[in-house]
Amino acid sequence: MLFAALTLHLPAQGAAQPPVSQPTVPGSQSDRAPAPSPAPAPIFGFRDITRQSILDAEFLAVPDAILAQQHLEVLTASPHWASSPEDYTTALYVADRFKAAGLQTEIVPYRVLLNKPSSILIEAFDATGQKILTNPTREHVDLPANSVAAHFQDDPRVLPGFNGSSPSGDVTAPIVYANYGRLADFQRLASLGISVKGKIVLVRYGEDFRGVKVYIAQQYGAKGVLIYSDPSDEGSKTGLTYPVGPWRPDSGVQRGSVQFIPIYPGDPTTPGVASTPTLLESARVPLDKLQYDLPSIPVNPLSSADAAPILRALTGPGAPREWQGGLSFPYHLGGDTSVTVHMRLAQDVQLRTIWDVIGKVPGASDPSQWVIMGNHRDAWVYGAADPSSGTAAMLEAVHGLGVLIHQGWKPRRTIVIASWDGEEEGLVGSTEWVEQNLDAPHSTDPIHAVAYFNTDVAVSGPNFKAAAVPSLRGFLREITAEVPSPAGGTVLQQWTKKDDRGHGSAQSRDPTTDNARLGPGPHVGDLGSGSDYTPFLQHEGVPSTDIGSDGPYGVYHTVYDNYDWFARFADPTFAYLQQQARILGLEVLHMADADVLPFDDQLYADEIRSYLDHAQTRAQSLNLQLDFTAALAAADRFTAAARAIHQRQLAPPKDAAALDRALSAAERALLIPEGLPRRPWYRHSIYAPGEFTGYAAIVIPGVNEAIDALDPTRAQTQLAALAEALDRSAAALSTVAP
């Protein structure tokens, strides 16, 4: 998969963009969608699929690999950190493409708190006082002069490696090495008699969200945190590094936010309130009161090249064997005076403007039901895979929808396409939009979102992956069964072939349902956090999906995640961008036009019962005396209601409005009004990011996190809250049960 660097061909200022109806450029077989089957398979949620099959075929023929490539070139031409002039330029580009497709389009600004580094000084001294590190080095690899790759690396607009949400600070202290900075790692240090109180902690990227590393270190009394990229974690010990291979060079610095997203995301000055430009300052949390979801200690990233002299000079106890990374010497824990680090960070913290781009296609018969698709647009640097591959795919999905619109098609439900800004800083653009539009109890024109479809890193390689609420897992498998894969066959077939994690609880699906024709199917993950589905699902109870296509992606959040890297290693023919565009578009088409919302709550019920059974077994193994009776009974009632409504969905009436209301209300009913303990912004009773994981989902989080904390009183209270949520959801489904 090694390809020569491609030359950029950017459209000149004001140059005409490709027309919406431009046909697919002839090419390989994967460039062309297959002709519709003479006997198309049933689609769950539709009475008569003849019309939908025709629409699907017309749509699938439109998304174009060459046009997706052109979008990616434009979007990655400059570094476009949120709120920068270059970021606004990408907003204009996306808005132009939305308008060309026939979408009602607006650019929606928000004023949000962002930090930008004014100066960074990090020095390290050994036990003799000799300086062993003088400031982090610039990301740099040896490249031919004037090459495309050198152009990206040397752009003066590239910000130095820094962490979003880090405060300013000037601290000097000994270093302690804490492995990945997980809760278990800090507990291990404590068991070894090593305190991090008053120290600077050095942790590796990986295993959990970087903000959680800081969240835990701060609770243990650390004065500062340095987060480095170990060569064994997607770096030089993994394989060939850029520009020869896809892995991170030793100089690569992973930027990223350290906001405490598991507490709440979005603008930290306006929790639960949209940070609009007209918001009164009195409605914001004062800057000197910002402690709830932001670190109070300075944090900065390091490359492995800059972390190496610190780790080499550390003494103290040897690191546990499993803590040894990829540098060529034994790791030690420190905690003594063998290495002292001086961190002096000056952050320019102020309210800055970000720009969401929102496109809308009004629904013809059910306009109050909104089907939303979104991807973020901002990047730490160029963001070829993260997130511009998603934006390129989304724009080609919009291209396909635009062809249908210009042919006279009108969706049954309203379609909204969103290009979020500020995601990298803490899911900011999507959270503020949700708080303005979906979490606005005093609105005179309430919006009812029935589904949210997310993509972020749409393509970093050829391996399709997905996560979703259980009720949409069958929906995703049906969609991918229609889309051709560049590797041959359908995406579903390739996904199933490459899936090595089993079939999960899909094996328990009732074989009498129409979705059983897809077989057990490949693994569909749970939704934790780390992307823009979070405010939709976990704050507002909107059924959501998230899709991507993975590969060897070692340059995440570095300067090397650029167009040159993408064209060499991720998707040289851009056929996987085309594939992802087709999947995104079909998700929207099917949800917007289904006769009844295609939610399979039978699978949801099976999953919830399995979660409860597992939690009960864990509690018993820990000798926690908990009563699961009420929660299990509520789960049984939810199961009965789900099976009853599913029978109605198999043959939906012509007027399915009551069914739609019941199915949509069922997910929102799973919200706990008072939210989760210690983090009330998160309200979903079934899924949340873990307080001490950040990315990974915790199922029935209130219950499981109380069990983890060995807190039976809290666990019993959360079991009661879960039982009430399940009963509310069952009642919602039962409003139309026979």
Residue 31 banded pLDDT, cuts 50, 70, 90: low
What integer is the mean pLDDT of 140-168?
A: 87
Q: 597 and 663 in contact (C-beta within 8 Å)?
A: yes
Q: Tell me the pLDDT tens digit for each residue of 235-256.
A: 999 999 999 999 999 999 999 9
pLDDT at 445: 57
| Burial 258-279, CB ≥16 within 10 A → b, else e | bbbbbbbbbbbbbbebbbeeeb
pLDDT value of position 364:
95
38 pLDDT exceeds 60?
no
pLDDT (tens digit per residue) in 426-448: 999 999 999 999 975 555 555 69
What band does 75 get if pLDDT is binned at 50, 70 and 90?
Answer: very high
| Span 116-120, average pLDDT | 97
Task: Name every residue whose Cβ is closer than 8 Å to that of residue 514 and which is 6 or more positions away in sequence.
Answer: 42, 44, 650
Task: Give CA 587 to chain center in angstroms.
Answer: 17
- For 626-655, what is each residue's pLDDT tens digit? 999 999 999 999 999 999 999 999 988 888
For residue 71, give every residue at least 6 positions away whose Cβ sits within 8 Å of its Cβ, in sequence order, or none.
97, 388, 391, 392, 395, 396
- The predicted pLDDT at position 143 comes to 78
Q: What is the pLDDT of residue 509?
A: 33
The one-character DSSP state at 62 is S
Task: Express as a percent the part of the chain with pLDDT over 70.
Answer: 90
Task: Specify burial of residue 217 (Cβ count, 10 A radius: 0-12, 13-18, 19+).
Answer: buried
Amino acid type, 288? D
Q: Which amino acid is at 620?
A: Q
42 half-sphere exposure, CB direction, 13 A CA radius: 16
Backbone phi, psi, residue 10, to 5°: -90, 140
Residue 40: which region, alpha, beta or left (left: phi > 0; alpha: psi -120 to 50)?
Answer: beta
- Residue 657, by phi and psi: left (phi above 0), alpha (psi -120 to 50) or beta? alpha
- Model pLDDT for residues 670-707, shown as the tens digit of each residue: 999 999 999 999 999 999 999 998 889 999 999 999 99
Residue 488 has pLDDT above 80, yes or no: yes
Shortest CA distance to 433 belongs to which of 623, 316, 266? 266
Residue 15 has pLDDT above 50, yes or no: no
pLDDT of 200 > 80? The answer is yes
- Checking if the pLDDT of 37 tops 60, the result is no
pLDDT at position 514, please? 35
**pLDDT (0 to 100) of residue 24:** 38
pLDDT of residue 408: 96
Task: Please determine, for residue 1, whether its predicted confidence score (pLDDT) is greater than 60.
Answer: no
pLDDT of residue 292: 73
Q: Evaluate if residue 731 carries a pLDDT over 50.
A: yes
How does DSSP classify residue 555? -
> 3-state DSSP helix/strand/coil percent for the chain, to nearest 5?
35, 20, 45
Written as six digits, the tokens of 141 are 């690899």
Percentage of the chain exceeding pLDDT 90: 83
Mean pLDDT of 663-668: 96
Residue 11 pLDDT: 33
> How much is the average pLDDT of 704-711?
97
pLDDT of residue 8: 32
Mean pLDDT of all residues in 101-111 = 98
pLDDT of residue 23: 36
Q: Give the lowest-confidence range in 147-151, 247-251, 543-547, 651-655.
A: 147-151
3-state secondary structure 169-184: EEEEEEEEECCCCCHH
Give 142's pLDDT tier (boundaries 50, 70, 90). Answer: confident
- State the amino acid at position 29 in one-letter form: Q
Name residue 345's amino acid.
L
Q: What's the average model confidence in pLDDT over 474-490?
A: 97
pLDDT at position 39: 63
Q: Which is it for strands 104-126 and 131-134: parallel, antiparallel or unpaired?
A: antiparallel
- The answer to whether residue 517 scores a pLDDT higher than 80 is no
Split at pLDDT 50, 70, 90, the class of 313 is very high
Catalytic positions are: 423
Beta bridge partners of 174: 340
The pTM score is 0.92
**C-alpha span between 540 and 687 (Å, rounded):** 12
What dihedral angle (degrees, nearest 10) is formed by the CA atoms of 683, 688, 690, 694? -110
Tell me if residue 592 falls in helix, strand or coil: helix
Which structural domains are found in the chain, ordered by start? Answer: 42-113+351-475+530-593 (3.40.630.10), 115-350 (3.50.30.30), 601-734 (1.20.930.40)
Would the pLDDT of 33 be above 80? no
Contact between 645 and 600 (Cβ < 8 Å)? no
Which H, E and C letters describe 30-41, residue by residue? HHCCCCCCCCCC
Across-strand partners of 687?
699
133 has a pLDDT exceeding 60: yes
**Model confidence band, residue 234 (pLDDT cutoffs 50, 70, 90):** very high
pLDDT exceeds 70 at position 35:
no
**Contact in structure between 336 and 315 (CB atoms under 8 Å):** yes
State the pLDDT at residue 446.
59
Separation of alpha carbons 299 and 202, rounded Å: 10
- 340: left (phi > 0), else alpha (psi -120 to 50), else beta? beta
- H or E segment to which residue 217 belongs: helix 210-219
- Listed residue (555, 552, 592, 661) closest to 371, CA to CA: 592
- Beta-strand ranges (E) seen in 364-462 are 366-376, 413-420, 448-455
Top-confidence residue, 511 or 672: 672
Q: 168-182, 281-295, 673-687: which range is least confident on average?
A: 281-295
Phi first, then psi: give them for residue 262, nearest 5 degrees. Answer: -65, -15
